[in-house]
Structure 1
Amino acid sequence: MLHIAICDDERVFVNHLKELLSQYILETGEEIKTSVFYDGLDLIEKYDPSFDLIFLDIQMKLVDGLRAAERIREKDESVGIIFLTTLAQYGLEGYKYQATNYIIKPLQYGRLKAELDKFIRRRHIEQEPALVISNDTGKYKVILKNLRYIETFNRNLLFHTEQESILCYRSMKEMERELQAKNFARCHTSYIVNLAYVKGVKKLEITLITGEKIPISQPRRKSFMEQLTDYWGDML
């Protein structure tokens, strides 16, 4: 299933794009779900981390596509974005937000099919493990390879990624179960660590490749070291 969001304030164009997507579904058999937004602000406020690809118009009245893309990248670093524009220079500006591509209107079926075929092929090859977490500010897609460690924080969890730290209301036990077979290890009552970031261990302290120090509790040290040794062995 491919979840596509369309964000464009021209209702005629939105209907045209939906018709082209229906044609693509009939021709390819691909399962596609679409969600429609008529302004960037609406997309931001109702953002769904299950989106795989967004067709995003650059020129909209309230919140334009570039500002919307900037906010989206704060929540989701992996979703594909194809900018829609009538002027090429705006599309080029969109690459600052890791755009998949940009399309100059009007949109023809041949161009849409080529873009979707390319996106789906790349998605099958590059799709990275991720998890979705929620807090009062919204939902976030966290790519596991970018998650350094998780720690307890005021009875909640704090996810430390390469880009930022994100509050999460799930439990440590729940996250330990979910990440168990994904190269993460519980080293302390209050910490789960991504083994890919471990640089070394000395006594009851882990040093990450970022220079950060994470404690190991004595009861968990043996199990953690066994997991780390297995991970390093697989990497050799």
Structure 2
Amino acid sequence: MIHLAIVEDNDATAQLLCSYLEKFSREQSVHKGQTPPPQTFTIQRFATADSFLEAYSQNFHLVFLDIQMPGTDGMNAAQILRARDSNVSIVFITSLAQFAMQGYSVSALDYIVKPLDYPRFSTKMHRIMRSLPAVRALDQPSILISSAGKRHVLSAQDVYYVHVEDHHVTLSTSAGTLPVSSSLRSLQNDCERLGLVRISAKAMVNYRFVTRMDRTSVTVLQPGSSPSVTLPLSRARSSAARAQLTQLLASGGRTGGTV
């Protein structure tokens, strides 16, 4: 699911943009042969940049931002937004294309010129969607993680293990150690898609990096970073985890070591 914000003071323009997004979503679903079509986007509209900035909590993947608005204008709002979140994608909405050229200073993804028409909008959206990290996370075996105010798209080769310590969840990854606010339980389904296996109430390991396993522990390699880490294998999960890891290792291979 892609979370969008529309920051536009003109009601008619905001409604038209919503209808175009819904149409684009339906067309993409039909193209992929999905019936009934799923809801690709969640959309939240803000009538002013000030109300948007006040409510912003880094939950959005893409922001459609009108440049000319009363109060804080779109360009100043984008500068404030970019200082808070370096990863969110910004698309400007403007009546004059030259205003959108200033968007390079805030790393805007694209711009849409008013008045809106669907053919041009659809062409823009295809390009925008190909560039969104959240879309790449949906189309590939990867997950989107928020950590310390930044978003990370992590593939199956990026996550070594997930561990809970002192009630805090951290991911050991190719990008370093990433603390997250989510619980291990809420992350489990996403991590399983990447090939991670739950070995205890406090840990999941990526089978690709398992180098050793016995009845009480699992050792995981961390390529190019810290030494291998040995994590406890709980008695309650031992049989199921060992069977699952053995099956995955047999079918998918591993980085190396002895199991």
**TM above 0.5, one fold?**
yes
The alpha-carbon distance between structure 1 residues 19 and 181, as it changes in their structure 2 partners (threshold 3 A), is closer
Q: 1:68 aligns with which of 70, 81, 89?
A: 81
Aligned to 1:16: 13
One-letter identity of the residue aligned with 1:149: Y
Contact 1:7 1:43 in 2 (8 A): no
Q: Aligned-pair RMSD on alpha carbons?
A: 4.5
Matching residue within 209, 214, 222 for 2:229: 214
Q: Does 1:229 align with 2:257?
A: no
Q: TM-score, normalised by structure 2?
A: 0.59
Structure 1 residues 160, 93: CA separation in 2 closer, same or farther (over 3 Å shift)? farther
Instruction: Quote the residue 1:108 is aligned against.
Output: 116
- Give me the whole-angstrom Cα distance separating, in 1, the residues matched to 2:22 and 2:199: 47
CA contact (8 A) 1:58 1:83 kept: yes
**Number of equivalent positions:** 217
Picking from 148, 161, 167, the partner of 1:149 is 161
Are the structure 2 counterparts of residues 102 and 182 from structure 1 closer, same or farther at C-alpha, using a change threshold of 3 Å?
A: same
2:43 is aligned with 1:34: yes
Q: Measure, in 1, the Cα distance between the counterparts of 2:135 and 2:145.
A: 21
Distance (whole Å) between structure 1 residues aligned to residue 120 and residue 6 of structure 2:
16
Structure 2, unmatched stretches of 5+, are 28-38
Residues 82-110 of structure 1 deviation map (CA, whole Å, 9 limit, x = unaligned): 23465244222233xxx43234x445325
Q: How far apart, in 1, do the equivalents of 2:24 and 2:154 lie?
A: 34
Q: Is the 8 A contact 1:133 1:142 kept in 2?
A: yes
How many Å separate the matches in 2 of 1:176 and 1:25? 31
Q: Residues 141 and 26 (structure 1 numbering): CA distance in 2 closer, same or farther, change over 3 Å?
A: same
Unmatched runs of 5 consecutive residues or more in structure 1: none
Identity %: 18
CA distance in 2: counterparts of 1:178 and 1:28, whole angstroms: 23
Matches within 5 A, 1:1-236: 3-8=3-8, 11-12=9-10, 15-22=12-19, 25=22, 29=26, 33-37=42-46, 38-39=48-49, 42-43=52-53, 45-47=55-57, 49=59, 51-57=60-66, 61=72, 64-73=77-86, 77=87, 80-84=89-93, 86-95=98-107, 99-103=108-112, 105-109=113-117, 110-119=119-128, 126=136, 127=138, 128=140, 129-130=142-143, 143-145=153-155, 146-160=158-172, 162=175, 165-170=178-183, 172=184, 175-176=187-188, 179-187=191-199, 190-195=202-207, 198=209, 201=211, 205-212=219-226, 213-217=228-232, 220=238, 222-223=242-243, 226=246, 229-230=249-250, 232-233=252-253
Structure 2 residue identity aligned to 1:211: S
The structure with the larger Rg is 2
Deviations 1:186-232 (A, max 9, x none): 35553323345x2x625763221242332133665845752552464
What do residues 136-185 of structure 1 show as CA deviations (whole Å, max 9, x unaligned)?
x99x8664425443211212322445276233352x45544653343112
CA contact (8 A) 2:197 2:245 kept: no
Equivalent residue, structure 1, for 2:35: none
Distance across 2 between alignment mates of 1:72 and 1:102: 19
Aligned-partner Cα distance in 2 for 1:178–1:106 = 39
